[in-house]
A = this chain, B = another copy of it.
Amino acid sequence: MAEYSVLIGGKAGEGINTAGLSIAGLFSRLGYRTYMYFDYPSLIRGGHNFAIVRAADRAIGAHRTPVDVLLAFDQNSIENHRQKIHDGTTVVHDASQVVRGEGYGLPLDDIVKEENAPPITKNSAMLGALARVAGIGREVLEDVLRGSVPAKHLEANLRVAGRGYDAVEEVFTVKRGDAPAFPVLTGNEAAGLGLVHGGLGTYVAYPMTPSSSLLHFLANRAEDLSVKVIHPENEISVILMALGLAYAGEKTAVGTSGGGFCLMTEGLSLAGMSEIPVTIVMGQRPGPSTGLPTYTSQTELHFVLNAGQGEFPRLVVAPGDLEETYAWSAAALMLSWRYQVPAIVLTDKTLAEGAYSFDLGSITPPPDREPVLWDGAGEYRRYVRTEDGVSPLAFPGREGAIVKATSYAHDEAGFTTEKPVEARELQEKLLRKGESLKAELAAYPTVKTYGARDAGTTIVCWGSQKWVCIEAAEEFGARVVQPLVLSPFPTRQWKETMIGAGKVVCVENNATGQLGRLLRQQGFDPGRPILKYDGRPFAVDELTARLGEVFA
- The interface of chain A, by Cβ under 8 A from chain B, is 41-42, 257-259, 261-263, 265-266, 268-270, 272-274, 284, 286-295, 297, 299-300, 302-303, 305-312, 406-409, 418, 420-421, 423-424, 427-428, 430-431, 510-512, 517, 520-523, 533-536
Task: Find chain B residues with CB under 8 A from A523 CB.
Answer: 520
Residues of B within 8 A of A269 (CB): 258-259, 262, 287-289
A306 to B431, alpha carbons, bound, how many Å? 21
Q: How far is the CA of A431 from the CA of B270 in the complex (A)?
A: 33
Report yes or no: B291 in contact with A302, Cβ–Cβ below 8 A: no
Flag if B307 contacts A303 (CB, 8 Å). Answer: yes
Which of chain B's residues has its CB closest to A516's CB? B521
Closest B residue, CB atoms, query A41: B418
Which residues in B have their C-beta under 8 angstroms from that of A420?
534-536
**Least Cβ distance of A543 to chain B in Å?**
15
Q: Is the CB of B288 within 8 A of A312?
A: yes
Contact B306 A288 (CB under 8 A): no
On whether A287 and B308 interact (CB within 8 A), knowing A534-B420, A534-B424, the answer reads yes
Q: How far in angstroms is the closest Cβ of chain B from A86?
A: 21
- Pick the contact of A266: B41, B263, B273 (CB < 8 A): B263
CB contacts (< 8 Å) of A42 on chain B: these are 418
Are B289 and A424 closer than 8 Å at their CB atoms?
A: no
CB distance from A46 to the nearest CB of B (A): 13
Distance of A335 Cα from B306 Cα, bound (Å): 25
Shortest CB-to-CB span from A398 to chain B, Å, is 24
Question: B533 contacts A262, CB within 8 Å?
Answer: no
Cα of A299 to Cα of B294 in the assembled complex, Å:
34
Do B257 and A309 touch across chains, with their CB atoms under 8 A apart? Answer: yes
| Contacting residues, chain B, for A268 (C-beta < 8 A) | 262
Cross-interface CB contact of A521 among B297, B427, B520, cutoff 8 Å:
B520
On whether the beta carbons of B290 and A273 are closer than 8 Å, the reply is: yes
The distance in angstroms between the C-alpha atoms of A362 and B44, with both chains bound, is 61
Contact A303 B309 (CB under 8 A): yes
B423 A286 Cβ-Cβ under 8 A: yes
